[in-house]
Amino acid sequence: MVNRADILVRIDDDHWAQLPGDPDILCQTAARAALSAAGWDDDNVEISILLTSDTDVQALNRDYRHQDKPTNVLSFATSDDETTVPEGEALPLGDIVVAFETVQREAESAGISLADHTSHMIVHGTLHLLHYDHEIEDEAVEMEALETAILAQMGISDPYARNEI
């Protein structure tokens, strides 16, 4: 199947240049892997990814989640099971926002590469846009298992085996 997802990546913090290779390709690869694994291979969807700083993520976390601290990734789903769009238009799934300093700190602490941890955050965020969650234990187990399988297909080891996040 052809993955018709339109994945828009914007980099608002120069620190993201520390990622090896092209951050846009890394984000595209991780998001498409998550969409495919969740059965969204042939869907015409749109995702926006913002690679930014702890400062920006902290402001969003404060304003939308009432937690005045940075976090590694935030997801803002813009559609649900009842959302419809005109034929031929992409279904907007939502936005993913990733904080450089937090992701870098977590990667260093876990002894993994910045690229692998960033990929994990994009997979995690994409699954949230597809309404996977980890607030309830059973749902957390399902989401973590899917994340682990997706990352394994990408050649990235199980982040939960290391208590990475």
160 part of a folded domain:
no
Distance of CA 105 to the CA centre of its chain: 17
* Domains: count for the chain: 1
158 part of a folded domain:
no
**pLDDT score recorded for residue 2:** 46
163 part of a folded domain:
no
How do the pLDDT tens digits run along the chain, 165 residues long? 445 789 999 999 999 999 999 999 999 999 999 999 998 866 789 999 999 999 999 999 999 999 999 999 999 999 776 677 777 778 899 999 999 999 999 999 999 999 999 999 999 999 999 998 887 788 878 999 999 999 999 999 998 886 655
1 part of a folded domain:
no
27 part of a folded domain:
yes
Please state whether the predicted TM-score (pTM) of the whole model is above 0.85: yes
- Mode of pairing for the β-strands spanning 45-52 and 91-99: parallel
CATH number of the CATH domain containing 68: 3.40.390.30
Q: Is 32 in contact with 5 (CB distance < 8 Å)?
A: yes
